[in-house]
Structure 1
Amino acid sequence: MNAQLSTRLLNLLDRLEPLLPPERAPIDWSRDIAALWQRHALGGRLTPVQPRDSVRVAELIGIDSQKNALVENTRTFLRGRPANHALLWGARGTGKSSLIRALINDLAGEGLRLIQVDRHDLVGLPTLVQTLRDSDYRFVVYCDDLSFEGSDDAYKALKSVLDGTLTGPPDNVLLYATSNRRHLLPESMTDNNDTQVVGGEIHHGDAVEEKISLSDRFGLWLSFYPFDQDTYLQTCAHWVAHLGGQFDDAAEAEARRFALSRGVRSGRAAWQFAIAWTGRHDA
């Protein structure tokens, strides 16, 4: 019987082996400033990565109030003071993700470390924050382009970690998220069927309350809006100069046409124009 049991266990281990992540050296936060969290069958792992660019917060144009609020919140957190989880929401391409990525370039020297979690890996978020609890560093756990479908239960893990578990996230972990949706979950007309007016006050039904309860758990909301033309052109000029080009009258006229053809004025459109313009014209 013991021999049969041993054989069965060995067979089981052979079948589990392909599901295990490859062995890696433990992450060294004194050297690694950013990482990706990926869950697997037996938990999850942190993979160190290099920041994708060297853009600083000061280089992001047209979002001064949002920059000031997020940097102040993050520096408060790095000083060991209470700080809020942050939701950056609004128009596409307006600098939400760039602002969070720029934080690591500005604040890594002050002890900040950045961990990105894909929406599909949020189920492992409680495990991740527990692994960070005893670290001497302070972490922003970041989920980009966050939104959920109506049948998606992954949001419950995020909701629980934000403000639902017995212990909550450790003091050295903040959660930042970006989204085009303020309430993160899709909303439909049928959600309002249970809404009632009592004494002149609107009382939302359970469906609406459930959908807004997740975004309510972020204490800092930062809204991002499409650029006006002056801000868009100023951003184009900045990135053209950054790439070594010259933003002359011809470049400005082309930048206007570029925005018109795309149907949007944003920081992303300005960056894409700068790449296209400098790529075609010698500095």
Structure 2
Amino acid sequence: MSDRAAQSEAFERLGERIAAALERIAPPSAPPVDWTAAPAYVWDGAAARPVPAIEAPALDQLRGIDRQKDTVVGNVARLAAGHAAHDMLLWGARGMGKSALVRAASRAAAADSGGDLALVQVAPHALASLPTLFSALEGVSRNFLVYLDDLGFADGDSAGPRQLRSWLEGGVEARPVNVRLAVTSNLRSLVPKRLSDQDDPVNPRDALDDLQALSDRFGLSVGFHAASQDDYLAIVAAYADSLGLAWDASEALEWSRRRGARSGRTAWQFVTELAGRAGRAF
């Protein structure tokens, strides 16, 4: 064998050893996800992780949002049954149960439909991958509520809102018929409005209309507002009584004043404090 041939063979064997070593240290490819096996999934932009149970309060524990609850529960139930249903924007006051209601309504609808609905939460960084997710869900013999929690867009981000509008309605990559979106946000328009948005000397309303065009694409826009004192105490009662915890209204109100808010989240934090004092875990 010539020196050149020997050298070529040596390089070939070296390449094979390097390829084998890389194959050994490379992470195994994720197995294909079974979209019919779990009640919920988390989508990270490239793959889905099944979630064995949806963590949410019981629907009757969600107080002070009766109108919102009826609207969301009814819409999710229709989706689970395979009937016409809306994409939903849940917007408004922080801590008033927007996310909890999405989860609770999904869990109830899945139970009532025998598992014909799954909740798919999209990771915050994975918005641009929605077409890939839609492609995976299309054709699956199940209905899906794709959930984007606490969504917002930065100043100057025009691509994100326009993509979402296209996916909701009218675009070639719009979500399939067995998929609906549920978005929660503190902002009704999903994008911050500034006084300067109204200062365009050519078309003063174009910027505002562009913002509104996104929220208009949701069939349901459900507003949540800060709790009254009575509603706040009713929320505390729903949580504390179900756990068998004694509580005092004046202490609950003082807790809300120190927190600077009356909301479902504040009520749950107060009940957590009560449970901790009583040596309870949940």
Are the equivalent residues in 1 in contact too, given 2:61–2:239 (CA < 8 A)? no
2:257 matches 1:260: yes
Q: Deviations over 1:94-140 (max 9, x none)?
A: 00000001123212231110001123201000111111011001000
Are the equivalent residues in 2 in contact too, given 1:120–1:154 (CA < 8 A)? no
Aligned to 2:275: 278
The 5 A counterparts of 1:90-239 are 90-109=92-111, 110=113, 111-152=116-157, 153-166=159-172, 168-194=174-200, 204-239=204-239
For 1:82 and 1:167, how far apart are their aligned partners in 2?
A: 19
Deviation at 1:63, TM superposition (A): 0.7
- Evaluate the alpha carbon distance shift between residue 254 and residue 195 of structure 1 in structure 2; reply closer, same or farther with a 3 A threshold: farther
Listed as ranges, the gaps of 5+ residues in structure 1 are 197-202
Deviation at 1:231, TM superposition (A): 1.0
- Evaluate the alpha carbon distance shift between residue 175 and residue 58 of structure 1 in structure 2; reply closer, same or farther with a 3 A threshold: same
- Evaluate the alpha carbon distance shift between residue 195 and residue 134 of structure 1 in structure 2; reply closer, same or farther with a 3 A threshold: farther
**Equivalent residue letter for 1:128:** L
For 1:116 and 1:180, how far apart are their aligned partners in 2?
A: 18
Are the equivalent residues in 2 in contact too, given 1:245–1:282 (CA < 8 A)? no
Q: Which of the two has higher C-alpha Rg?
A: 2
For 2:42 and 2:123, how far apart are their aligned partners in 1?
A: 8
Listed as ranges, the gaps of 5+ residues in structure 2 are 1-10
Deviation at 1:74, TM superposition (A): 1.5
Are the equivalent residues in 2 in contact too, given 1:122–1:155 (CA < 8 A)? no
Deviation at 1:144, TM superposition (A): 0.4
For 2:175 and 2:274, how far apart are their aligned partners in 1?
A: 46
**Equivalent residue letter for 2:240:** V
Q: TM-score, normalised by structure 2?
A: 0.84
Q: SS of the residue aligned with 2:199?
A: helix
Deviation at 1:224, TM superposition (A): 0.3
Deviation at 1:22, TM superposition (A): 4.9
Aligned residues: 263
Q: Deviations over 1:121-168 (max 9, x none)?
A: 010001111110110010000000011102333333322211131262
For 1:263 and 1:96, how far apart are their aligned partners in 2?
A: 19
Q: TM-score, normalised by structure 1?
A: 0.84
Are the equivalent residues in 1 in contact too, given 2:41–2:51 (CA < 8 A)? yes
Are the equivalent residues in 2 in contact too, given 1:195–1:205 (CA < 8 A)? no
Are the equivalent residues in 1 in contact too, given 2:131–2:173 (CA < 8 A)? no
Aligned to 1:68: 70
For 1:180 and 1:54, how far apart are their aligned partners in 2?
A: 20
For 1:64 and 1:262, how far apart are their aligned partners in 2?
A: 24
Q: Deviations over 1:226-281 (max 9, x none)?
A: 1111111111122112233123xxx2221011011111100110000001012113
Are the equivalent residues in 2 in contact too, given 1:159–1:217 (CA < 8 A)? yes
Aligned to 1:199: none
- Evaluate the alpha carbon distance shift between residue 187 and residue 274 of structure 1 in structure 2; reply closer, same or farther with a 3 A threshold: same
**Equivalent residue letter for 1:278:** A
Are the equivalent residues in 1 in contact too, given 2:166–2:173 (CA < 8 A)? no
More deviation, 75-84/182-191: 75-84
Are the equivalent residues in 2 in contact too, given 1:232–1:270 (CA < 8 A)? yes
For 1:124 and 1:167, how far apart are their aligned partners in 2?
A: 11
For 2:204 and 2:145, how far apart are their aligned partners in 1?
A: 33
Q: SS of the residue aligned with 2:89?
A: strand
For 1:179 and 1:138, how far apart are their aligned partners in 2?
A: 23
Q: SS of the residue aligned with 2:44?
A: strand
Percent identity (aligned):
38
Are the equivalent residues in 2 in contact too, given 1:32–1:49 (CA < 8 A)? yes
Q: Deviations over 1:211-232 (max 9, x none)?
A: 2211111110100011111111
